[in-house]
Structure 1
Amino acid sequence: MDLLIIVLMMVLVIIAGAAIHFTQTGAPFPFQKRTVLYSQPEVAFMLKLEQAVGDQFRVISRVKLNDLLQPQGNLKPRAVQIAKTKASNKQLDFVLLDRKSFEPVAAIDLVNTESKQGYKAKPDWFVRGALETVGIPHVRIKIKPGYKASEIRECLSAKIGKGKLMPLNVRPVVPKGPTRPVKPLMAKLSAEVDSSQAVA
């Protein structure tokens, strides 16, 4: 009986402590939904990028370098930890994936070179070296208004090779209806039927 009372007292203390904590912080989950996930330059570029690659690649955004690469299997644990730590705060703006195999094909970063403090103005030697080691081209494209899909496509071709970019899918024009007038044909058939009946 005494043990039950002690357990109940401990539960009450825990509940009281949790209530005080939630009251001080305001809510157990102090979050709200973001109304916008991407900046205007990101949205403008992503739309044109999807047009530039067509149906050949999938476009994903904000990919951590650690999610894209992994340390070599023959490294010592200490070297693995160092490599992961160096890559932990690195993020790529966009990554192109093969549409069928989902294999990474290219990494893309938007850069602001108008000032030294601009967004990714200075090339990151660690990111570039890590990507080149595994054969993933690192494409840096300047932030600007009015992107053109053709310009982005040319930039990608220069980095990943023209042979790897297939021609964009163009829907063939399907003719609607007959390709020649129907009435003259029907009249000709009717005349042939009449002549055959006359002979008979």
Structure 2
Amino acid sequence: MEFVLLLILLLVIVVALVANRFAHNGNPFPVQKRNSIFSPVERSFLQLLEQAVSTEYKILNRVKLADIVEVKQGVADKARNSTLQKLNAKYLDFVLCDPADMRIIAVIDLVNNSTKEGHKAIPDWFVNGALDAATVPYLRMKIKTGYTANDIQNAIANRLGKPITKPEPTFKGLVKKGPTRPVRSLKPASNGNILPTPVLSRSQIKAQQTALIQAS
């Protein structure tokens, strides 16, 4: 009896597995919507990047390397196909373009090198080499807390050979501010005919009081 029950249980499991396999293979779209296009880190960096470039550049996200560079003319078919396969398999995090004609200005990749398995922790020799050969400026920016829009702006400017803008100095704590213009005396100015009131010492004041008392 126990053998029969065990056989029935095994048969049920096999039927369930087969039915599940046919169900998945029969569905041409076994997909679902993602919760968000960007991770929290990517979203925070994108907000700072938008502040840093303002209206100077257009920002494109998650662009294939094949959309940035192309294979030269005259390359053998085998080398062309191999290169195209690699170009289509590589994705770049952010691409800066000229807003007027969408000309490619620079490429930015976020790097999480807290661990060896982190996001793009190990430099990709093919991406580096392809962008360098195509003379496209490439920045690998480490993910860290405390980034400011000015930090990103300076990193981009430094990579593009532009002057770096220094932030205005900030002061911590209380700052003693001096007068911005000469302070005028509140005492009225003395004319040539009016003599200033002399300043008496304590002994002189006491002598005057004694003289007044005696006179009275």
**1:130 match:** 130
Check conservation: 1:61, 1:94, Cα contact below 8 A: yes
Q: Please give the secondary structure, in 1, of the residue aligned with 2:115.
A: coil
Match of 1:24 in 2: 23
CA offset digits 1:17-50 (Å, max 9, x no partner): xxx9xx8237453332222110000000001001
- What is the 5 A alignment of 1:146-185? 146-162=146-162
Equivalents in 1 of 2:46, 2:119: separation in Å? 17
Q: 1:162 is paired with a residue of what secondary structure?
A: coil
Aligned to 1:69: 69
Which consecutive unaligned segments of at least 5 residues does structure 1 have? 1-19, 167-200
Deviations 1:129-178 (A, max 9, x none): 11111111110101112321000011101111216x99xxxxxxxxxxxx
Secondary structure of 1:95's counterpart equals strand
CA distance in 2, matches of 1:100, 1:74: 32
DSSP-derived class of the 2:154 partner: helix
2:55 match: 55
Which residue of structure 2 lines up, in the alignment, with residue 44 of structure 1?
44
Change (3 A) 1:80 1:99: same
Residues of 2 paired with 1:102 and 1:152: CA distance? 21
Cα distance between partner residues in 2 of 1:28 and 1:91: 26
TM-score with structure 2 length normalisation?
0.62
Distance 2:60 2:130 in 1: 19
Question: In structure 1, how many angstroms separate the alpha carbons of the residues matched to 2:30 and 2:86?
Answer: 31
SS of 1:101's equivalent?
A: coil
Name which one, 1 or 2, has greater alpha-carbon Rg.
2
Contact 1:51 / 1:149 at 8 angstroms: preserved in 2?
Answer: yes
Corresponding residue for 1:140?
140
Asked if the contact 1:44–1:147 (Cα under 8 Å) also holds between the matched residues in 2, the reply is: no
Higher relative helix content: 1
Aligned structure 1 segments of 4 or more residues deviating by more than 4 angstroms = none
Identity of aligned residues (%): 40
Distance in 2 separating the partners of 1:49 and 1:93? 12
Runs of 5+ consecutive residues of structure 2 not aligned to the other structure: 1-18, 166-216
Higher RCO (CA 8 Å, separation ≥ 6 residues): 1
Q: Is the 8 A contact 1:112 1:143 kept in 2?
A: yes
Deviation per residue, 1:100-121 (Å, 9 max, x gap): 1101110100001222222111
Name the aligned partner's letter for residue 24 of structure 1.
Answer: A
Task: Give 3-state SS (helix, strand or coil) of 1:37's partner.
Answer: coil
CA RMSD, Structure 1 to Structure 2 (Å) = 2.5
- Alpha-carbon displacement from aligned partner over 1:41-78 (angstroms, at most 9, x marks no partner): 00000010011011011101111111211100121211
Paired residue total = 146
- AA of the residue aligned to 1:67: D
